[in-house]
Every structure is written in C-alpha cells, then in structure tokens.
Structure 1
Amino acid sequence: LGVRAQRAWPRWAVALLGLGALLTMPFGSADHTNYAAYGRIALLGGDPYIESPVAWAGGTDPVTSGVQPPWQETPSIYGPLATLLQLGAAWVGGDNLRQVVWVWQVLVVAAWLMTRWLLRRLFPDAHGRIDALWTMNPILVGTAVLGAHVDTMATAFMVAALVLARRRGTRWALATGVICALAAMVKVTAGVALLAIALGWLLEAHRAGSRPRSVLARVGILVLGALLVALPLQLWAGGSAYAQLGRSRRSISLATPWRQVYEWFGGHLPDATWRSLVFALAAATCLLLAALGWRVLRDRVPDLGAPLVLALSLSMAYAVGAPYVLPWYDQLVWALLPGVALAAGGLLTRVWLVRGLILALAYVPGRVVGLTPGVESLTLLFRREIAPIAALLVWGALVLLARRATNGDLPSHDQLR
C-alpha cells in the first residue's frame, strides 16, 4: 500500500511511464479539450473568461469546436497563469486540436516529474514512499497525469513553495511568495499554500517564543512576493477572470455527502437559500476536519514543520469536506502523504487510499457520455452511493485518530520507523 515502501523506482521506469503518458490520449474527463479551446481563444485575441468555446468563430474553429459536453458553453474558470500556459500550447500546436492537447500533456508530465524531484528534497528519507504514493500510484497517475489536468501544474508550484518555506532569510520569503502566487494563478484553490505557510510561520514563532515583529515582517515579505506576481497577471487577464468561477461556485457534485443533504432536505427553502446554507455547513465542516488533521499530525511529524502539516490538513479537509470534489483535486494530499505515511500507524494513509480508489472508480471512466448502460450504472453507483460513504470514512478516521492523539494513544513517527 506504499505506507512502508523503502525502495525508490529506477529512473528508467519513471521515464518509461512518462513516455507512456505522452503516447496516450487523455481520458477520464473532457477538460483537456477545454484547455486547448481557452488557449486558442486567448491566442486569437479573444477573452476566454467571456467567450464560450462553441460560439467562438461561429463554431467553425478547428480547435474550439472540439470541446465536448457539458463544457461547450462554459468560459474559463482557471487562473491567468493557466491561461498563459494554455495560450502557449495553442501557439505551438497550431490549428490541430490533438497537437495542442499533446503540447499540454508535455507540460503536465513535466510538472508531475518536477513534483517528484521536489518531493525527494522535501522528504529525503522517504524516496520509496514518494514513488509509491506519487510517481507510480495508479490512482494519482490514472486520474491526474493521464487525464492531463491543470491541477498537476498547480501542485508542482505548491510543493515548490513548501520547499522554499523552510529556508530562512528575506529573499527566500520573497521567493516563496512568488511561487505561492504562481500556484494560485494556475487555480485559485491553490492559494491554500500561501495561507498554510503564513499561518505555519506564525504558529512556529509562537511556539518558539520569537518576537512577533520579526515573524510579521517575514509574512509581510511573503505577501509582497505574491502580489508582485499576482497583480500583473491579474491586470493582463482583466476583470472578467473570475466571472465564471463565481457562477460555478455553488455546484454540488454527486460524490459528496452534501449532495445527499441537498437532495434529501431540499424543497423546504428557495434553492439559492438552501445552497447557501449547504455551503456554509460545508465550510464549517472543512474547518473542523482541518483542525482534526492538525491535531493528529502536529506532534507525530514535528520535523516537517507547521506550514507543511497545515497544507496537508487543509487540503485533506477540502478534498473530503467541500461540496464539489473530483479525484484530480486531491493531488497536494497525495504529494504530501509520503512525509506522514507512518504517522498514526499508517491508518490515515490507508483510509485515503481506499477513498481515492473509490473516487477514481466513480469518475474514471468519467462523464457518463457515450457509455454503455451497464458501465453508466456502475459509474453512477460509485458516484452517488459509495463515494459519499468513502468521504465519511475519512471523517470518521480523523475523529478517531484525533481522540486517540488527545488520549496519548498514538505512537510517534520515530517509533514506527
């Protein structure tokens, strides 16, 4: 299961898997056609945050016309840096949709390999677990890398920020802020790295009894570095960059417990009011789950530092507590699990593996478009019935482990080595 994996995979095996990914058409979702269309629209002078792919150029463009349902009328929800990368893929790929997608796949595979390189520096004693849970993990590779998802690029930037966050000095704080902004400019939810690092530094300073002024200055430099990158990119993208994100933020996916809550108790209030209430409950639940994750891990892996533990706790809480989740949203959790795989007796990692497998079965094969009735029924069974239970399994594991940690019943990380 990768919890106690000791040996790293040889480089030739990793290279072979990367080459295989580049020879495989993306599957599991239609997102790669969206990315190509948004880049094409930006390249030709349009605004991908306003224009719908199906309407661009009268629906005759050789790239944008290839967008598949249900995203044909959906403008971009991604950050300005993601749009720039998509534009670059469109420029290199030209008028051929497959070529544009393939260039995008090269960027995704490069980000996946870069994350492995960064993780080996973040966790120098866990190379075997890194390859088991990140590099050669069929759940992660099958849903994220072979799906060519933009989240892989955001994850590379987030992990890079966590690596830099361990270094002291003004220039490193500034560089960390720059990298955090690059992550958030790929996808807004990747801004969790900036939040985790800032709060982590404050918590570490408090526990060490450091002067508040010095740590606040460090956090200020971190934010300054982020603004130096975010503001120019935001100005380039324009004021409509997050218009579609605002419209889609109230979606509730089938694979979450919140879908059941929404359907079971809906109808008693106006839909907009009920959705707002569900999202408020989900936000409170995410905060509680993050607090439980912090309680479980903070004393089990003290050598990893508060920013990393906070990043993992927040990301895990969002992945199982948010109203809208997909299997490729879990990438930062998969990336950071090698560092805490032995914590809590490995139970948290094993539960996450079970949940990840179920979520992958729920969405890959993915969109219930063109599937046989049998495959569609099986996919919807996992999506509607089993995946929400898997999320509740993680909730229960966090509650149990936090209680055991409070009672002093959990072994330390060193005792499990």
Structure 2
Amino acid sequence: MVVRSTSLRARLGLVALVAGYGFLDLVAGAPNSPLTPVLPRGVGPPRWSVRGADWLGLDRLSRTGLTIVSLLILAALVLALGVVFLEAWRGRVRLGAVLAAVGVSLALAVAAPVLLSRDVYSYAVYGRIFTLHGANPYLVPPSAFPFDPFVQVASREWIHAPSVYGPAFTLLSASVAWIWGGSVAGTLLAFKVIAAASVGVASLLAARTAETIRPGKQAAAATAIGLNPVIVVHTVGGGHNDALLALCIAGALMLAVRSQSSADHRPSNGHSTGPAFLGATTLLTLAVLVKSVALPILLLWLWHVVRRTSTDRRNIAVVTHGLLVVALAGAGFGPFAAGGRTFRALLSVASRQGWASGPGLVVRGARAFGRAVGGGSTGVALDTLVSVAFAALFLALFWRILTRPVASDQPDAWGRSMLLFALAAPYFLPWYAAWFLPLVVFMEDATLMVIGMSAAGLLALTGVPAEPGTAPHVWQAMMLGVHYGAAPLMLGMLGVAVRRTLAGAGRETAPRPCLERPRTTSSP
C-alpha cells in the first residue's frame, strides 16, 4: 500500500506536534521552570530558549502558572499524537512526513535542557566512578565521591545506591566519561544525543518491519515511537537509557522478521543459526545488558528458535545461541565482576514501588491496611504478599504466551509480554513506555494496542513539575494525581489486558503479524 499524500488533518497534527515540542523548550528556558530539575553548576538552558521565554512573557509567570501552561501543552501534544496516529493507521500519512517531524522533534528535545528527571546525572556518575575514580560502580555508591559535579545534583534517593543498570550501559556511560569527562555540559549532551539517535533509528526500524508484516502501517509504527510525547519529552528530553532498549528491541524484531525471508529462512531443514537469527539474539542480549527488563523478550525469542528448529539441528541451535548469550554477558560483566554483590546491586531495583503503577497502588493500600490492623510487621507481610501475587500473575500470563500453540507470532508475543510487564510492575515511570511502544503496532489485539498508546499518553501527562521547587504544594498535588489518578487507571488497563490475554481475544479480527512463511518441501 503506497500512501501518495498526507491528509490535511494529519498535516495539522504534525505541525502541532513540532510546534508543541518547540514551545516546551521555551517553557524550559523560563526562570523557575517546572520542566527542568536542578542543573549542574555552570549548566543552564540554551540562550535561545531563555530569550524566547522572555519574548513570550513566560518569565513573568509563576511556577504554578508555568506548570499549568506545560500541562496544557502536553495535553495538546497527546491529542495531536492521537490524530496523527489514527490518520497514519488509516493510511493517510506519508512515512516521509512522519520521519521529517520525528527528526525535528528529536532535535528540539536534544537542544532543550535536561527535562523532568535527574536520572541522567546518575548515568554520568556511574560511568565516572569506573573511568575517572577507578572504582566499581556496582560496589561503590556515588556518595563516596561527594565532590563530583554530578553527585552534587543527583537524586538523593540514588546517591547511596550502587548502579542498578546493566553492564553494557555502564560501559557506555564509562565511555562517555572517558571522552567528555572534563565537560559537564558535553556529558549531558552526549546522553541526550544517544537517546535521540536511538529513538530515531528505532522509528525507522519499526517502519521497516511494518512494511513486511503490517503493510500500510509504516507511518503508524514510526509515529508511535518517534512522535510520542512520552518518548520525545520524557525519554529523550531526560536522556534516558530506555531509548537504547527501544532501539535494541526494534532492531531485533526487524531481524526476527528478516530471519524468515527467502535469503535466510530454510523451513525444510529448520536452520536457526543464520545471521539474522544470531543478530536478533545479539540485540536482545544487549537489551538485557542495558536493562534486565528486556529478559522476557529474550526468553520468548530463544524459545521460538528452539521450537522452530528441526530435531536434528536443535542441539546445534541451542549451543550456538546459548554460547552467544553467555559470551556477551561475560564481556559485559567481566570488568565489574565481584561475585554475588554485582547481581545484588542489579536486583535491588525490584524493591522500588510507586509512581503510576497500578500494582504499586494496591501494595501501598495493603501495607497501610496491615499497619492499621496489626502493626508494622503485618503491613510488611501484606506488602510482600500482594507484590508476590502480581509477580505471579505476570509469570502465569507470560507462561501462557510462551507456550501458546502458534510459535511464530513473535511480534505479538513480544508486545503483549512487555505491555503486561510494564503494567504489572511495581514501579511505572514515563520512560518505561519505551519498553513496549516499538511493538504496539504489531499486536494482534487492537484493544491491547489502544491500551499501550493510552498508557503512554497518560504517562506523558505526569511528572510536571519535575521537583517541588518554589511551589511544593503544586508538586504534592501532582504526586497525588499520579498515585490516585493515573495509578488506578493503569490498574484498570492491566485488568483489561489480563482478560484479553487470557481470552486470546482479537486474533480473528486483526491481521496476523506472522513470522512464519508457508513451509515448502525441498531436498536437503
């Protein structure tokens, strides 16, 4: 399906998206902006955004007024994204128009100051601990280096914690520290460029994949990632490493689809060790080594490789892919190896609860109820019980997806798993949407696709103001809205997603993004 022109509605939506991202940059340049966390000494908003904010009179607004303006812009961006996505889904948007808007939007996000999160400071610190301070970031916390410029502005919640990120990302952070260690501004820019480049390439790869298994949906696939406010503002604006996850997942999916092409697919002999197969395994392993949350997709893919390989070649496939995973993991963990202490640091993130997580809301309620009824120990017991129950729920659903009869529906399986994982997690931050947005267009169930896009849109509206600043009451109101407004909605979305997954709904009405090509008989 060739889209010859972009509809007027879509053009207006694209213009609104680009203009909205530009206007947010100007709000970020205003004094006391709610969009920016505390910036390191010597780093400030770019001059053009400061001058633009002054010209628009934003410098005369209070922090509360700027917060209202920011939320209105974000709401308009979510609405504009919905318009463009629907038009793209209906085949009324040219891919070139979307990619042009993606490029401009990402450039604006990079040009802005750090937005809505201090996580990028922690990224910088962990890399500097290894490269500049000569210590192991999985053993030594940032607080051991109080005079480091990034430690001074990093979140107080994390400065006493060793790194919770995968070794591949820590090595990347160390490389950034090695190249830009003498420049605070250069370090921040590097992380934002990495995030923007990852999102841009992920958008291209998703469009390429859609060309094969979702013909006519290329523009929609790129729009869901590259024009999404939760990605452009929160993920790229904050320089988050979840953008790398989106890149690895999108690249792995494209290779998984390519593995079934005539050049690499050999149905008669069950060959599963070709370049595309091994490339997908490599990218998914790297994704896990950036953030362990990508593990469900890696398991789904490896199980798919085993199931589709003929019996006489299965051992070869298992050994080849297994050795590849082990080799990559060894290369990643090698520089930081410290026995079980390294893995304890990585696993500590599982204890985090809150933000827009539906299960987090239930856990907090159970803990409060337990404390009221039987004291602190009862609260802790109920907290643990409910947390385990949600983890068991996801594992049961994942097992159902893993063992379903049609082993070839990898795009749908990946998308369902990551959406369920995000919704069932005890901690659900805006940039976590990057875990499932590269896959949302490839889900067979249109309801799950809507849930994924809706969850991303809801997350985009959270996190403003970034910090209490001079208006702590506004920040407290935002947190109440997240915990008792967004979280219940996410819990409802989880309930619908669970029901749809258990029922297997949507498989008859949506086109199947099947990786499996018809098997033919040929001589060995």
2:139 corresponds to which residue? 50
For 1:404 and 1:195, the matched residues in 2 are separated by 23
Per-residue deviation, residues 121-141 of structure 1 (Å, max 9, x unmatched):
211122210232111112222
1:134 corresponds to which residue? 225
Mapped contact 1:54–1:65 kept (Cα < 8 A): no
For 2:507 and 2:286, the matched residues in 1 are separated by 41
2:250 corresponds to which residue? 159
Give the SS at the match of 2:152: helix
Alignment of 1:396-407 (within 5 A): 396-399=495-498, 401-402=500-501
The alpha carbon displacement at 1:358 in A equals 2.2
Give the SS at the match of 1:156: helix
The alpha carbon displacement at 1:278 in A equals 2.5
Aligned length: 397
The alpha carbon displacement at 1:403 in A equals 7.2
Q: Which moved more, 1:125-134 or 1:349-358?
A: 349-358
* Counterpart code for 2:456: G
Per-residue deviation, residues 257-308 of structure 1 (Å, max 9, x unmatched):
333333333334456544432231011221345478789xx89xx8x94222
Q: Say if 2:188 is the partner of 1:101.
A: yes
* Counterpart code for 2:361: Q
Mapped contact 1:290–1:316 kept (Cα < 8 A): no
Give the SS at the match of 1:170: coil
1:178 corresponds to which residue? 282
The alpha carbon displacement at 1:32 in A equals 0.6
For 2:314 and 2:481, the matched residues in 1 are separated by 47
Mapped contact 2:411–2:442 kept (Cα < 8 A): no
1:337 corresponds to which residue? 440
Question: For the structure 1 residues 16 and 4, does the alpha-carbon distance in structure 2 shift closer, same or farther, using more than 3 Å as the test?
Answer: closer
Q: Say if 2:398 is the partner of 1:278.
A: no
The alpha carbon displacement at 1:315 in A equals 0.5
Question: For the structure 1 residues 359 and 212, does the alpha-carbon distance in structure 2 shift closer, same or farther, using more than 3 Å as the test?
Answer: same
For 1:116 and 1:212, the matched residues in 2 are separated by 37
For 2:121 and 2:507, the matched residues in 1 are separated by 50
Per-residue deviation, residues 32-90 of structure 1 (Å, max 9, x unmatched):
1111111111112121122222321xx22234333233222222111111111111111
Q: Say if 2:411 is the partner of 1:308.
A: yes
Q: Say if 2:129 is the partner of 1:41.
A: yes
The alpha carbon displacement at 1:190 in A equals 1.8
Question: For the structure 1 residues 137 and 261, does the alpha-carbon distance in structure 2 shift closer, same or farther, using more than 3 Å as the test?
Answer: closer
1:188 corresponds to which residue? 292
For 2:231 and 2:457, the matched residues in 1 are separated by 9
Give the SS at the match of 2:427: coil
For 1:211 and 1:332, the matched residues in 2 are separated by 32
Q: Which moved more, 1:387-396 or 1:181-190?
A: 387-396
Q: Which runs of 5+ in 1 are unaligned?
A: none
Mapped contact 1:62–1:95 kept (Cα < 8 A): no
Could you tell me the TM-score, scaled by structure 1's length? 0.85
Question: 1:117 aligned to 180, 193, 204, which one?
Answer: 204
Alignment of 1:202-221 (within 5 A): 202=306, 205=308, 211-215=310-314, 217-221=316-320
For 2:500 and 2:274, the matched residues in 1 are separated by 38
Q: Say if 2:134 is the partner of 1:85.
A: no
Q: Say if 2:353 is the partner of 1:236.
A: no
2:8 corresponds to which residue? none
Per-residue deviation, residues 201-251 of structure 1 (Å, max 9, x unmatched):
445x3xxxx744434542442222111211122111212433323333222
Per-residue deviation, residues 165-194 of structure 1 (Å, max 9, x unmatched):
331442323333222221111111122231
Question: For the structure 1 residues 213 and 389, does the alpha-carbon distance in structure 2 shift closer, same or farther, using more than 3 Å as the test?
Answer: farther
For 2:379 and 2:343, the matched residues in 1 are separated by 23
Question: For the structure 1 residues 365 and 226, does the alpha-carbon distance in structure 2 shift closer, same or farther, using more than 3 Å as the test?
Answer: farther
Mapped contact 2:209–2:254 kept (Cα < 8 A): yes
The alpha carbon displacement at 1:399 in A equals 4.8
Q: Say if 2:232 is the partner of 1:144.
A: no
* Counterpart code for 2:136: D
Q: Which moved more, 1:268-277 or 1:176-185?
A: 268-277
Larger Rg: 2
Q: Which moved more, 1:311-320 or 1:125-134?
A: 125-134
* Counterpart code for 1:317: L
Give the SS at the match of 2:114: coil
The alpha carbon displacement at 1:410 in A equals 5.2
Q: Note the aligned Cα RMSD (angstroms).
A: 2.8
Question: 1:363 aligned to 447, 460, 463, which one?
Answer: 463
Give the SS at the match of 1:50: coil
**Runs of 4 or more off by more than 6 Å in structure 1?**
291-295
For 1:264 and 1:332, the matched residues in 2 are separated by 27
Mapped contact 2:129–2:137 kept (Cα < 8 A): yes
Give the SS at the match of 2:354: coil
Mapped contact 2:128–2:177 kept (Cα < 8 A): yes
The alpha carbon displacement at 1:371 in A equals 5.8
Could you tell me the TM-score, scaled by structure 2's length? 0.69
For 1:191 and 1:371, the matched residues in 2 are separated by 41
Q: Which runs of 5+ in 2 are unaligned?
A: 1-81, 260-264, 266-271, 513-524
Mapped contact 2:205–2:254 kept (Cα < 8 A): yes
Q: Which moved more, 1:371-380 or 1:108-117?
A: 371-380
Question: 1:263 aligned to 349, 352, 364, which one?
Answer: 364
For 1:313 and 1:105, the matched residues in 2 are separated by 29
Question: For the structure 1 residues 278 and 401, does the alpha-carbon distance in structure 2 shift closer, same or farther, using more than 3 Å as the test?
Answer: closer
